[in-house]
Amino acid sequence: MDEIKKSIFIEQSPPISITCNPVETKPKKKKSKKKKSRKLRCGVCKKRLGFIGIKCKCGQYFCGHHRYASEHNCDWNYQDENKTQLIKENPDLNPTKIDII
């Protein structure tokens, strides 16, 4: 009985054709090592910061002692920034004049 089932299965399956295409081998690339993340350091004293690093508006990170603009000779102009912010938030409100009859 098993021989009959095998012969039926073999007769019903379509013929298989195998073709081989030449495979181009590419040179193996070396796995690049992960770059170590640089530890944050204070821009003035080069102290390692960890989680308490404070980013100034000039773009650098500073420790708790050098976080103020006067401590690290910041070149960011806070006065002009504050003036423009006040002008945007408080528009000029000139009352319209009433025509005298």
More confident residue, 72 or 23: 72
With respect to residue 101, please indicate whether it lies within any of the assigned structural domains.
no
With respect to residue 63, please indicate whether it lies within any of the assigned structural domains.
yes
- When divided into structural domains, the chain yields a total of 1
With respect to residue 11, please indicate whether it lies within any of the assigned structural domains.
no
Amino acid 16: pLDDT: 66
d(CA 74, CA 79): 13
Range of the domain at 47: 38-88
Q: Degrees (nearest 5) of the Cα angle 10, 15, 19?
A: 140
In terms of phi and psi (left: phi > 0; alpha: psi -120 to 50; beta: otherwise), the region of 94 is beta
| pLDDT higher than 70, residue 22 | no
| pLDDT higher than 90, residue 85 | yes
Average pLDDT, the chain: 78
CATH of the domain at 59: 4.10.1110.10
| pLDDT higher than 80, residue 73 | yes
With respect to residue 8, please indicate whether it lies within any of the assigned structural domains.
no
With respect to residue 16, please indicate whether it lies within any of the assigned structural domains.
no
Element containing residue 12 per DSSP (H, E): helix 2-12
